[in-house]
A = this chain, B = another copy of it.
């Protein structure tokens, strides 16, 4: 009750018998530089900590243009992959005194634009963006703002920007090769309708692996489903697809949610995962680990990704570099029973 209004720099100045300017200098560690005496300096520090002074970030932000806030735009915060990443990034950002404002795009460009807009006039210092389809223009404009932007999970090949991603091509290639090595002969892929680089890379990794292993490939082995469908519709589509392929003996799902829907679909078809149909998914998930049979996947190094993103951001905030930092991390294939029935 005493402090409904919060302690301001003026209150400290008054108590210390000095000007607000002096208080500001001292509390910003500029005492030496601004030649404030030890005495006064100590006194101010003491009063500030006694009053538990915390600078009003709005006022500071208004004056300095820095809000110590990062805007985070993900595809879907309810998705385990993004949520886990958000946690890591929150932790890392916190170490540097930054807070995170988040939003989900649902892979919808209009929503993404809206989020960027809002974050902009909330004056965030930097952006972490999982871009949607046509967000390239906005990203370029953002770059002109001189606020750091780091793309995650995907990027635009024709836009020079910072990004942290995994090697989607290699991940898909490796897991598909693994399926081939296990003896699966006719392998299909279920992905989402998206021209974005991460999906393109996964698809290309998949097809390259098929070619290298001299396995059949044609368009009928590829199913693209729109992101925005409901669960029911996903399952319907997947079942229709899987049953349409003669001799199909394995399938690769290109995202975690597709993997989940896929498992559900396959089971409702009554097929036996592993012996009858090999299954692999991109991204790991508790479900994949504990499903019976457990599901082979391409796991992304989430902690590493998150740490890298924030690290790049912090470096750019402190010393903007001329050239973009583009980090590609290696995902790892986790072989489980769905592609190797011998496994538990």
Contact = CB atoms under 8 A, between A and B. Distances in A.
Interface stretch (A42-50, A74-82, A155-163, A240-248): A74-82
Contacts of A289: 264
A118 B104 contact: no
B62 A58 contact: yes
Contact of A84 (B1, B78, B99, B122): B78
A145 B57 CA distance: 17
- Identical copies in the complex: 2
Contacts of A77: 77, 83, 86-87, 90
Contact of A121 (B57, B103, B260): B57
A6 B101 CA distance: 20
A118 to B, nearest CB: 6
Nearest to A1: B144
B99 A100 contact: no
A94 B117 CA distance: 13
A69 B118 CA distance: 12
A3 to B, nearest CB: 9
Contact of A290 (B6, B67, B267): B267
Given A77-B87, A100-B102, 4 more contacts: A59-B62, A79-B83, A99-B103, A291-B292
5 contacts: A57-B121, A69-B101, A83-B83, A90-B104, A285-B287
